[in-house]
Amino acid sequence: MFIYLSKKIAIPNNIHLKCVSWNKDQGFIACGGDDDDAKLKGLAAPSNLSMNQTLEGHSGAWYEEMINNRNKSVVRSMSWNADGQKICIVYEDGAVIVGSVDGNRIWGKELKGNQLAHVAWSPDSKILLFGMANGEVQIYDNQGNFIVKMTISCLSNATGAISIAGIHWYSGTGGYVEPDCPCLAICFDNGRCQIMRYDNDENPVCIDTLMNVVSIQWNHCGSVLAVAGSLRAANQDKEFNVVQFYTPFGEHLRTLKVPGKQMTGVGWEGGGLRIGLAVDSYIYFANIRPDYKWGYCCSTVVYAYTKPERLEYCVVFWDTKNNEKFVKYVKSLMSITTSGDFCILASKADDTQPQYVLILCNSIGTPLDSKYIDIDPLFVTMTKTHVIAASKEAFYLWQYRVAKKLTALEINQVTRTKKEGRERVYHIDSNPSGANEGSPDFAKAFTGRESGTIHRYSLPNVVLLHKYTLNNRAYYLSLNCNSRQALNVFMQIQLVALHIYY
């Protein structure tokens, strides 16, 4: 995933912003600031970063549908349910009001002795979560009856005063990245965050972002959680604004540094390709370029997406020459990798077993072979003869066979590698020497480590040829067509070309 700032819009009269929200359907941006000021803005098409655009206010008439002027307390949070038919409004003094979209009040209740700060609906609108000023989260039914206090696992060993920075329960309207996927995010101002599958999940995903968090929000399909706040620079007293992006399983994706003094809110665009950030008296916009699951083989585009009505990924094999599409559904799909006439679909094998499966398919999606492996295939690549899958500690090599006529060179390679078997697993710290007989094939395989070290191996013998030590952690690694130059993209968006010599 690649993220970059694209636009900056100024708020008239230097009004300091408190929050920002993006309409998912019509694309309008709403922002609220000091002195009860609210603005509504329609955005132009994405362009280069502009530093001096002015936000124009809403020019139409405001229609008052439901007024709750209590004159005793202030509104701290409000939330619409998944279908947009009900809204829940919470006041700081413990008052709760649930109303309908046509402006009628459904019910109201006083939660005496509680200082409310946040509210969220469950996807089925049967449960309400109330976040308290002291960091507690209480669970109620949709009629206002108390059920239980939520267990907060991410705050173990935390000290000092803690408050909730945000609660966001993804509604599931855009589908899920996999069955039983975590979708309820609760984050605290000290940077601790837990992501749960349901409200009484006993094994939530816990994250320590190491930030001072002010706001969180899921994207349109629940695949990325944006956590906005500030981060203290190493060995310095200065803090800077950042947005960190996580998967539902707690894996850190990217960090976006944002100018300004104080960030107060974050909002996703309806399609998940832009975010709006409230910073001081400005709205910053950033463009998102996700890592799509797709590939190209034999004039066929292979791509995957999720459907709200299905738990599996929909994988489409689109023959661009004949304009024909072949569809198959894959549960817990992790990646799509292509080479020549074939593709590899990597997925989790079963929820009950910690195994993964690599499925070899042709250009119309027909499975030709499959292998079950015990390592997590976070990174997968393939050639016309081999599939390589790597986890954080090891890599797996599979020489695949398909029903076709082999050339003399391929037959010779198959004969040599059969002596050690068609499947092998290597630990990243091992030093494989390969086979002794015959001359090695200097087709290259590279692995990049978080420390910045790049390992170069020969194939198919798998001999460690060289180690390259770099100063930064590699984010992306690619070879040119003759394998003599490697391109590395680092986490700080630096590009380095690595020349390969023999």
Does residue 33 sit within a domain?
Answer: yes
DSSP string, 164-223: EEEEEE---TT--SSTT---EEEEETTSEEEEESSTT-SS-EEEE--SEEEEEEE-TTSS
pLDDT (average), residues 420-429: 75
Q: Tell me, yes or no, whether 344 and 212 share the same domain.
A: no
Contact yes or no for 86/97 (Cβ under 8 A): no
In a domain, 407, yes or no: yes
Assess if residue 50 is contained within a domain: yes
| 276 and 298, same domain (yes or no) | no
Q: How many domains does the chain have?
A: 3
Residue 450 pLDDT class (50, 70, 90 cuts) = low
Tokens of 390: 């790597």
Does residue 482 fall inside a structural domain?
no
Judged by DSSP in three states, 226 sits in strand
- Segment 310-320, tens digit of pLDDT: 888 999 999 99
Residues 183 and 81 in one domain: no
139-160 pLDDT, tens digit per residue, is 999 999 999 999 999 998 888 8
Please check whether residues 264 and 162 belong to one and the same domain: yes
Please name which of 340, 380, 384 lies closest in space to residue 359, comparing C-alpha atoms.
380
Q: Are 299 and 411 found together in one domain?
A: yes
Residue tagged 């708020």 (tokens): 11
Q: Which of 387, 407, 427 is the last residue of a domain?
A: 427
**Same-domain pairing of 107 and 223:** no
Same domain, 315 and 392: yes
Domain identity same for 240 and 365: no
DSSP letter (8 states) at residue 442: B
CATH code for the domain of 304? 2.40.128
- Of 103, 130, 150, which marks where a domain is finished? 150
Q: Which of 394, 398, 352 is nearest to 371 (CA)?
A: 398
Q: Are residues 321 and 207 in the same domain?
A: no
pLDDT band at 286 (very low <50, low <70, confident <90, very high): very high
| pLDDT (average), residues 379-391 | 91
Which range is least confidently modeled, 280-289, 455-464, 475-484? 475-484
pLDDT band at 295 (very low <50, low <70, confident <90, very high): very high
With a pLDDT cut of 70, the percent of the chain lying above it is: 81
User: What residues form DSSP beta bridges with 205?
Assistant: 195
pLDDT at 46 over 70: no
Q: Please count the CA atoms within 13 angstroms of the CA of 437 that sit on its side-chain side.
A: 8
The answer on 185 and 45 residing in a single domain is yes
Q: pLDDT for 177-203, tens place per residue?
A: 888 899 999 999 999 999 999 999 999
Q: Is residue 345 part of a domain?
A: yes
pLDDT digits (tens, 9 = 90+) for 259-277: 999 999 999 999 999 999 9
Is the model's pLDDT at 438 over the cut of 80?
no
Per residue in 66-113, pLDDT (tens digit) is 566 667 788 899 999 999 999 999 999 999 999 998 888 999 999 988
Domain that holds residue 331: 292-427
- Which pLDDT belongs to residue 235? 72
**Where does a domain end: 150, 168, 202?**
150
* pTM (2 d.p.): 0.82
- Angstrom CA distances, 20 to 32, 207, 266, 282, stand at 7, 24, 6, 10
CATH number, domain with residue 125: 2.40.10.480
pLDDT in tens, 329-363: 999 999 999 999 999 999 998 777 789 999 999 99
pLDDT top residue among 387 and 31 = 387
Asked if residues 398 and 390 have their Cβ atoms less than 8 Å apart, the reply is: no
Residue 86 maps to a domain: yes
Work out the number of other CB atoms within 10 angstroms of the CB of residue 243: 23
- Is position 456 within any domain? no
Do 319 and 417 reside in the same domain of the chain? yes
395 and 342 belong to one structural domain: yes
- Ranges assigned E (strand) in 59-200: 75-80, 86-91, 95-100, 105-110, 116-121, 127-132, 137-141, 146-149, 164-169, 184-188, 192-196
282 located within any domain: yes
Q: Give the integer Cα–Cα distance in Å for 83 and 172.
A: 11
Cα angle, residue 481 at apex, residues 476 and 485 outer, rounded to 5°: 60
